[in-house]
């Protein structure tokens, strides 16, 4: 690689980097310019490894119901960037690559094949078709400005550079935070990265007996009495804590206040039933079935192991006879069902997270191009930027949009 020179070098061949490469190549092709001047650098032996794991292997590639509220902190900036490459533009882009998609009732869009590999293949085939130079097992260890361009690893020169190296989430897929280090060395301002869309590890008295249980719950991250965030859906109970979509949606707030002793998780284990309604149900059930064990009072409402834990948390034996329960006992059971509180020891961390929050401060960019204002010719896209959103295709939408915008802008700047 020593002494090689390119028009555009893209650091990172994940979702946003692949998209940027195709966008830049198409710009060059329209002007009759060779795409062999575009280099795509990837530290791993193959491109797009993290993409294959998205959406449990199905790849929820976008969502038709995107609003500013789907993104944390910088939703307005994200939507400003997406004006040039919105949801419809992304669908049109993938359609032009031959990828068929389908949408579910929640607006989530998947490949028709239900396989993330189909999305990656569409991008890989386009990169190959345009003759982009793909350099795998090539990690960018340094990035320096030089004259009218940049040197990567003191050997590869590029007139334009797009940093698409990802965040720090899921290190096994190549996201090790190295892109942050490259940009920090150039004086680019970053917000401290922290894990988002991850699980929570809970302290005592969290019951390990719940390991493997899944149930519809409302989860709330609270700082003392203040509710920071809440969401409802299927919570997965693990040996040391909880995960599942509603937990992931609110986990970034636990990351933000990590270490605060007043940080707790409140779980309503029957969000579809009001407290008064539940008490009345338990009273009627106790009258009709006095011979039942206490843990069977909520049979049909929730998994038996979860019901058993609720009874224990009320200070009662799950096997005790319903006939022996007093009104106060039923009220305590209902209270434990509707609002048990656990200390949050920490999040499950970067390796278990799907997205990194933090990254390059959005004030550093021109949103129309994603070029760093103070360093001409340097662009960023994807997770390295301080934009993160909810589960449901919103983070991949950002990856595609930012990749299309930065790739197009970098190429056009060389054609002007």
DSSP, res 243? E
Same domain, 41 and 184: yes
Give yes or no: residues 310 and 400 share one domain: no
Domain boundary among 294, 317, 348: 348
Are 214 and 299 found together in one domain?
yes
Q: Does residue 179 sit in the same domain as residue 39?
A: yes
Domain count, the chain: 2
- Rounded to a whole number of angstroms, the CA Rg of the chain reads 25
Burial class (CB in 10 A: 0-12, 13-18, 19+), 251: buried
Same-domain check for residues 205 and 189: no
In the structure, how many helices (H) and strands (E) does the chain have? 10, 22
Residue that terminates a domain, selected from 302, 331, 348 = 348
- Clarify whether residues 312 and 406 are in a common domain: no
Residue 81 shares a structural domain with residue 101: yes
- Across 173-276, the runs of DSSP E, i.e. the strands, are 190-196, 200-202, 214-223, 226-237, 241-243, 263-268
User: Residue 14 belongs to a domain with what CATH number?
Assistant: 3.50.50.60
Contact 174, 42 (CB under 8 A): yes
Q: Are residues 407 and 339 in the same domain?
A: no
Q: Specify whether 341 is located in the same domain as 364.
A: no
pLDDT (tens, 9 = 90+) of the chain, 416 residues, equals 457 999 999 999 999 999 999 999 999 999 999 999 999 999 999 999 999 988 888 999 999 999 999 999 899 999 999 999 999 999 999 999 999 999 999 999 999 999 999 999 999 999 999 999 999 999 999 999 999 999 999 999 999 999 999 999 988 888 899 999 999 999 999 999 999 999 999 997 899 999 999 999 999 999 999 999 999 999 999 999 999 999 999 999 999 999 999 999 999 999 999 999 999 999 999 999 999 999 999 999 999 999 999 999 999 999 999 999 999 999 999 999 999 999 999 999 999 999 999 999 999 999 999 999 999 999 999 999 999 999 999 999 999 999 999 999 999 999 98
| 363 and 325 co-located in one domain | no
Task: Out of 327, 348, 369, pick the residue that ends a domain.
Answer: 348
234 with 170, same domain?
no
Give the residue numbers spanning the domain of 28: 5-196+357-415
State pTM to two decimals. Answer: 0.94
User: Alpha-carbon distance 3 to 41, whole Å?
Assistant: 15
Kindly state whether residues 298 and 242 are assigned to the same domain: yes
Contacts of 276 (CB under 8 A, 6+ apart): none
């Amino acid at each position: 690689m020593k002494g090689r020179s390119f028009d555009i070098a893209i650091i990172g061949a994940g979702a946003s980097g692949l998209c940027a490469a195709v966008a830049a190549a198409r710009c060059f092709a329209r002007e009759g310019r060779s795409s062999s001047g575009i280099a795509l650098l990837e530290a791993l032996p193959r491109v797009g490894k993290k993409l294959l794991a998205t959406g449990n292997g199905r790849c929820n590639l976008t969502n038709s119901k995107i609003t500013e509220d789907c993104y944390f902190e910088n939703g307005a900036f994200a939507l400003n960037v997406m004006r040039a490459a919105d949801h419809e533009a992304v669908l049109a882009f993938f359609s032009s690559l031959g990828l068929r998609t389908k949408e579910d009732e929640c607006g989530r869009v998947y490949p028709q094949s239900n396989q993330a590999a189909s999305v990656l293949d569409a991008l890989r085939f386009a990169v190959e078709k345009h003759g982009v130079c793909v350099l795998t097992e090539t990690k960018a260890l340094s990035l320096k400005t030089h004259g009218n361009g940049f040197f990567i690893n003191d050997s590869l020169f590029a007139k334009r550079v797009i940093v698409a190296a990802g965040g720090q989430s899921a290190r096994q897929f190549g996201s090790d935070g190295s892109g942050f280090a490259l940009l920090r060395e150039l004086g680019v301002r970053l917000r401290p990265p922290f894990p988002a869309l991850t699980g929570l590890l809970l302290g005592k008295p969290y019951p390990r007996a719940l390991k493997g249980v899944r149930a519809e719950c409302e989860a709330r991250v609270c700082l003392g009495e203040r509710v920071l965030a809440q969401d409802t859906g299927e919570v997965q109970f693990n040996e040391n804590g909880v995960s599942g979509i509603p937990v992931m949606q609110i986990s970034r707030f636990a990351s933000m206040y990590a270490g605060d002793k007043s940080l707790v998780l409140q779980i309503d284990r029957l969000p579809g039933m009001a407290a008064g309604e539940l008490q009345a149900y338990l009273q009627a059930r106790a009258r009709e079935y006095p011979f039942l064990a206490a843990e069977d009072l909520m049979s049909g409402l929730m998994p038996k192991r979860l019901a058993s834990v609720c009874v224990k948390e009320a200070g009662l034996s799950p096997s005790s006879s319903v006939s022996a329960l007093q009104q106060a006992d039923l009220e305590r059971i209902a209270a434990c069902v509707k609002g048990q509180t656990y200390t949050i020891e920490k999040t499950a961390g970067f390796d278990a997270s799907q997205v990194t929050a933090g990254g390059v401060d959005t004030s550093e960019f021109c949103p129309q191009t994603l070029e760093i204002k103070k360093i001409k010719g340097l662009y960023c896209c994807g997770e390295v930027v301080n934009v993160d959103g909810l589960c449901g295709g919103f983070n991949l939408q950002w990856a595609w949009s930012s990749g299309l915008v930065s790739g197009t802008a970098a190429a056009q700047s060389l054609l002007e």
